[in-house]
Amino acid sequence: MKKMFMILLLICFSTQWMNAQTMAFSAIEVKVKPFTQKDIKEAFEEVFKDVEMNKGAIVLERFTGGDSNGMTHRLVFLYTLGEKMIADEFWASDKNAAFWAKMGNYIEDWGVSYSGRMMSWKEGNLETNPEVHIWDIIPEDPAAFKVAHDKIVDEFKDEFKDRVVGFGTYDIGMPNGATHWVGLTGKDTVDHLMLYDKMEKNNRFVKLLAERGGFDLIKDFSLNIISSKQ
């Protein structure tokens, strides 16, 4: 699984794509050995400390709730299609090889990997809102879903201030058959619940939710951002 994921990353970061403005991601879920989160965080920050990023980011996350399929952590690579996020020399370096060797010592099991695109993306502050809630879905009409999603983000700017709000696709390795996802950040679980309680009492918000059309909810889960490199 690790070798397959690394091949996927090399393809994503070295291929010249047609649409240079579309943001995309590649993620892999892992189950780390007990009491090794600190070690993984240190290895992550050490290897990417001096790496120059170009229009992208790498995020290390810990599952905190929902359906995680027994996995404990996730690595997510965010990049712009058509742009090399990191120079090719890094992926062939001893530093990169040493990082994956260290990770192998801490990882008990390699989970699924998948890639997709961001169809809608509102930036936020990950330092103040480090917990991510993600819904994996299959919308009946993805285009209508996006239109209503964008209306919600636009009309409720105050409620979503400093929060990342995203909607996108799963194009490779669709987890459990999900074709799309919705993501939202907050301070913690209580902060998310307080926001949902407030929004669900707003008639306009409820109306816009309905405008998204029908969808199948495959699963939902939450993660806490442990470290990131931008």
What pLDDT, in 10s, does the model give residues 45-103?
888 888 888 888 899 999 999 988 899 999 999 999 988 888 777 777 787 788 788 88
Find out whether 84 and 40 touch, Cβ atoms under 8 Å.
Answer: no
51-54's contacts with Cβ under 8 Å and 24+ in sequence apart are: 51/86, 51/90, 51/229, 52/86, 52/87, 53/85, 53/86, 53/229, 53/230, 54/83, 54/84, 54/85, 54/86
- Give yes or no for residue 10 having a pLDDT over 70: no
Residue 68 has what pLDDT?
A: 87
Confidence band, pLDDT 50/70/90 cuts, at residue 134: very high
Show the DSSP H helices in the chain as ranges. Answer: 2-14, 37-48, 88-91, 94-106, 142-155, 189-199, 203-211
- Give yes or no for residue 18 having a pLDDT over 60: no
Range name among 41-55, 106-120, 214-228 with the lowest pLDDT average: 41-55
Residue ranges and CATH numbers for the domains of the chain are 2-116 (3.30.70.100), 118-225 (3.30.70.100)
Rounded percentage of the chain residues whose pLDDT exceeds 70: 91
Confidence band, pLDDT 50/70/90 cuts, at residue 14: very low
Q: Which pTM value belongs to this model?
A: 0.87
Report pLDDT digits (tens) over 108-117.
999 999 999 9
Q: Residues 204-216: what's their mean pLDDT?
A: 97
d(CA 85, CA 79): 6
Which residues, 6+ apart, have CB-to-CB distance to 42 below 8 Å? none
Range name among 89-93, 166-170, 186-190 with the lowest pLDDT average: 89-93
Which residue spans within 52-130 are E strands per DSSP?
A: 57-66, 73-80, 107-122
Residue 125 has what pLDDT?
A: 94
Cα distances (angstroms) measured from residue 131 to each of 61, 200, 227: 9, 20, 12
Residue 28 has what pLDDT?
A: 95
Residue 7 has what pLDDT?
A: 35
Q: How far is CA 217 from the centre of its chain?
A: 18
d(CA 217, CA 203): 22
- Give yes or no for residue 16 having a pLDDT over 60: no
Confidence band, pLDDT 50/70/90 cuts, at residue 148: very high
Residue 84 has what pLDDT?
A: 82
Query: Residue 47: helix, strand or coil by DSSP?
Result: helix
Find out whether 186 and 192 touch, Cβ atoms under 8 Å.
Answer: yes
